[in-house]
Structure 1
Amino acid sequence: MDERRQMLQASAAAAQFFRRELLLATDGWPLEYLKAHGAESVLSVESPWKVGYAPRTWSNLVDHLQEQGFGYGTLARAGLLTWTEHGDAVDRHRDTLMLVAHDRRSSAVGFVGIGSDGVVRPASPVTPIHRPANVLVGAVEQRDLLAGGAVPVIVDEPMDAIAVSNAGGQWAGIPVCGRGLSTAQAKMLRDFSASDKVIVALGGSEAERNQSAGYMLDLAFYFDHVRAVVLRPGESLAGLGQQGTLSGALRNTRPLMTYRTTGSGFVALQSADLDPPGPGL
C-alpha cells in the first residue's frame, strides 16, 4: 500500500477513534460545552456532525492506531503523532474537541480543535495530505443537505455552523474556523452545493467582519447570489438558535456587496435592497 493511502486511512481511523471517545463520555467539559452552545444534537450517533474528542492521555490514539497496523512514520507524517524530548511517541492531540477537515475527494485529512477554553484552533499541521486552504469542515457531513438544495452559510465558529444546520434543513453551516475562506475552498463548496446561493455571517470585531466581507469576490465567481446576515456585537448564530430566532435571521439577508465598514460600525450602503430576499434565502 502506498504511503499516501496509509496516511489517509490513519486519519480516517483517528476520526473514528475521536468520535467514539466523545460518544462514550458521560461527563466533563466537552459535554458541558456542547450543551451550553445548544449543540447536544452531535452527541447522537445519528448526527451528521461527527464531532469527536481527543482524550487527555499521552498515547491512547497512538496505541490504538498501532494495534491497527499503522507505523510511527505514517502517524507522524499524517500529523497524528509527536515526539517527547526523551524520544517517546505520544498523541499530538489531547483534551480537545475535534472536527474533521475533508479534502475535495471527501477524504478525512486533518482536524480542527476546540480547547477547554472554547478557542477554536487548527489542530493538524501541514502534511502531505493536509493543506488548510484546500479543506473544509462540515461540507462532507452535510453533503446530502447541500445536494438537496440547502443554502450554505459561511460562519467562523463551528457551534454557529451546527446551529445553522439544525435550523430546519434549509441551510447548511460551514465553519472556516478563524482561517478565512480561500478560492479553493469556495470552489469546493460550490461543487458540493446544488444551490446557487450562499450566505456569509458578518459578526465579531470590525476586522473579522472585514475579513468575512472579503469572501465576496471568490464566492461571486462560483455562486450567483452572495448574501449576508449581520450580527450585532455579542450576538452569535448559536445564541439565536437557542432563542428560536435563527431561521428568521437567515431569511432576512441582503446582498453582501451592499455592506461596508465605517469607523462607527457596519452599515448598509443603500436603504433599498436591489436584490430582495425570497423565501429561505
Structure 2
Amino acid sequence: MTVELTRERVVAINAAAWEYWRWNANQAEDWTRGYLARRGLRGLQAGYAPEGWARLVGRMRGRGYGADELVAAGLAFRTEGGGVGDVFRDRLVLPYRDETGGIIGFTARRNPATDDVADAPAKYLNTTSTLAFDKSRDLYGIDPAAGRRIQAGARVVFVEGALDVEAIRRTGSPVVPLSGCGTALTATHLERVRQIHPGAAALAVFAFDADGAGQAAAVRAWDLLTDDEAGTAGALVLPAGTDPAQLIQDCHVQALAERLAQPQSLVSVVVDVVLARHDLTTVEGRVNALRAAAALVARIPDVPLSRVGTQLHARLAPHTDLGVIAGELAIAAAAARGTT
C-alpha cells in the first residue's frame, strides 16, 4: 500500500520517534551513555533505538502513526510476508535537523559489542530518502544555531561522520562542522551551504586522512569547487587512521583546536597529491609532476598560483629552477583561460 505524506508529517513522525529514543537512552539496557563517555563525548544528547523486532513500530502505532506512514518516513520496513519491523535496532541515534530545528532524518551507530562479529550489520545506518531527507543533499550539523553562524561568516568544516562533528564542537573552535555521515561530498552538499551563505564554500575547510583515500577525497572536493573557491578553501589533514572523534577520545582537544585554527590550503594538499604520483628522483618524473600540477591548479587566481610556485620549488629544488616553474604555471594558466 502506498501512503501519501507531507514533509511536515514526516518531521512530526521523526520528532515522535526521537522522543521515544531519548527516553530509551535513560533505561537500564542503554549502552550509549557509556560508549559516548569513552569517546570523550560525555553528555551528548543521543537517542537509543533498543533491540527488538518492532519496539518503535509498536510505540508509534499506539500514538496514532500508521505502519505505512512509518515505512514512508524511513523508520520501518515491510517484509514479504507483510510484517513491519524497526529500521533502527540496538543503535545509538543522532538526528539530522534543518535550519528551523525540525528533525528530518537520523544517523545511527550499531552496538560496538558487535564490531568484531563477522555478520554484524552496517556500522552506521542513515535514514533512506524521504520527503524530508536526502543524504546527497542534507548535512549532519545544520541546525538553527549553525545556520546563523554560517550566515555570519563562520567557516564550515566538512568531516566524515556525526561523531566527528560532535568532537569538533567540543573544541570550542569558531567553526561549523558538518558531515554527510559517510556519504561522499556532493555538489548538492556544497550548494546547500551556499544557499545559507554565498561565500560558505570559499571559506570551507575539508578534513581528510593522510592516506590514499584521503588524498582521493581531497581531489574530489577540489573538483567540486568553483575556480575562486578552489583558491581559498582550506584543508585539515589528519594522521592516517585517525579522525576528529579519535583525537578527542585520545584527549588531544588542544591539538585538534590548533589544526582547526590554522588549516592548510586545499591547493597545497592537491599539489602534494599530484607530486606523490610521480618519481621526483628522475628528470622525467619531475617534469611530468610539474606539468601535471600546473595543469591542475591553472584555474585558480593568480595570488594562490604564486604560492603554488613556492611550494613546487621547495619540493623540486635544487633540480628545477623557480623561473621554469613559474613559466610552466603561466603556460598552464593561459591554456586554461584560452589565451596564449
Fold in common (TM above 0.5) = yes
1:276 alignment partner in structure 2:
none
How many aligned residue pairs are there? Answer: 262
What is the one-letter code of the residue matched to 2:21? F
2:168 alignment partner in structure 1:
164
What is the one-letter code of the residue matched to 1:34? L
What is the one-letter code of the residue matched to 1:254? Q
2:44 alignment partner in structure 1:
42
By how many angstroms is 1:105 displaced? 6.9
2:87 alignment partner in structure 1:
92
1:31 alignment partner in structure 2:
33
In 1, are the aligned partners of 2:49 and 2:91 still within 8 Å (CA)?
A: yes
1:154 alignment partner in structure 2:
158
Once the two structures are superposed, residues 38-67 of structure 1 have per-residue CA deviations (whole angstroms, 9 ceiling, x without a partner) of: 111314xxxxxxx32211122221122222
Percent of aligned pairs with the same residue? 22
* CA gap 1:254/1:18 in 2 versus in 1, 3 angstroms: same
* CA gap 1:28/1:11 in 2 versus in 1, 3 angstroms: closer
By how many angstroms is 1:249 displaced? 1.0
Once the two structures are superposed, residues 139-192 of structure 1 have per-residue CA deviations (whole angstroms, 9 ceiling, x without a partner) of: 116334434543211111222211111211401221222211112211212334
The answer on 1:201 being equivalent to 2:203 is no
* CA gap 1:228/1:9 in 2 versus in 1, 3 angstroms: same
Match of 2:53 among 53, 58, 65: 58
* CA gap 1:221/1:65 in 2 versus in 1, 3 angstroms: farther
User: Secondary structure at the residue paired with 1:228?
Assistant: strand
Query: Structure 2 CA distance, aligned partners of 1:239 and 1:92?
Result: 28
User: Secondary structure at the residue paired with 1:245?
Assistant: helix
1:46 alignment partner in structure 2:
none
- Listed as ranges, the matches of 1:74-153 within 5 Å are 74-84=69-79, 86-102=81-97, 107-117=102-112, 120-140=123-143, 142-153=146-157
CA RMSD of aligned residues (A): 3.1
Q: How high is the TM-score relative to the length of structure 1?
A: 0.79
By how many angstroms is 1:250 displaced? 0.9
In 1, are the aligned partners of 2:173 and 2:261 still within 8 Å (CA)?
A: no
In 1, are the aligned partners of 2:75 and 2:86 still within 8 Å (CA)?
A: yes
Once the two structures are superposed, residues 82-107 of structure 1 have per-residue CA deviations (whole angstroms, 9 ceiling, x without a partner) of: 23454332211101112223467764
Which entry has the higher C-alpha Rg, 1 or 2?
A: 2
Match of 1:19 among 19, 22, 29: 22
Query: Structure 2 CA distance, aligned partners of 1:125 and 1:178?
Result: 14
User: Secondary structure at the residue paired with 2:33?
Assistant: helix
By how many angstroms is 1:219 displaced? 4.2
In 1, are the aligned partners of 2:173 and 2:260 still within 8 Å (CA)?
A: no
What is the one-letter code of the residue matched to 1:235? T
Query: Structure 2 CA distance, aligned partners of 1:19 and 1:134?
Result: 26
2:261 alignment partner in structure 1:
251
In 1, are the aligned partners of 2:39 and 2:246 still within 8 Å (CA)?
A: yes
Gapped regions of structure 1 (runs ≥ 5)? 44-50, 274-281
Match of 1:178 among 176, 182, 197: 182
In 1, are the aligned partners of 2:100 and 2:143 still within 8 Å (CA)?
A: no
In 1, are the aligned partners of 2:218 and 2:266 still within 8 Å (CA)?
A: no
More helix by share: 2
Gapped regions of structure 2 (runs ≥ 5)? 116-121, 279-292, 294-307, 312-340
More strand by share: 1
Which protein has greater RCO, CA pairs closer than 8 Å, 6+ apart?
1
- Listed as ranges, the matches of 1:189-268 within 5 Å are 189-192=193-196, 197-203=203-209, 205-220=211-226, 225-241=232-248, 242-243=251-252, 244-260=254-270, 261=273, 262-263=276-277
Query: Structure 1 CA distance, aligned partners of 2:87 and 2:194?
Result: 32
By how many angstroms is 1:236 displaced? 2.1
What is the one-letter code of the residue matched to 1:232? P
Query: Structure 2 CA distance, aligned partners of 1:209 and 1:122?
Result: 25
Moved more, 143-152 or 128-137: 143-152
In 2, are the aligned partners of 1:150 and 1:170 still within 8 Å (CA)?
A: yes
Moved more, 192-201 or 65-74: 192-201
Moved more, 183-192 or 92-101: 183-192
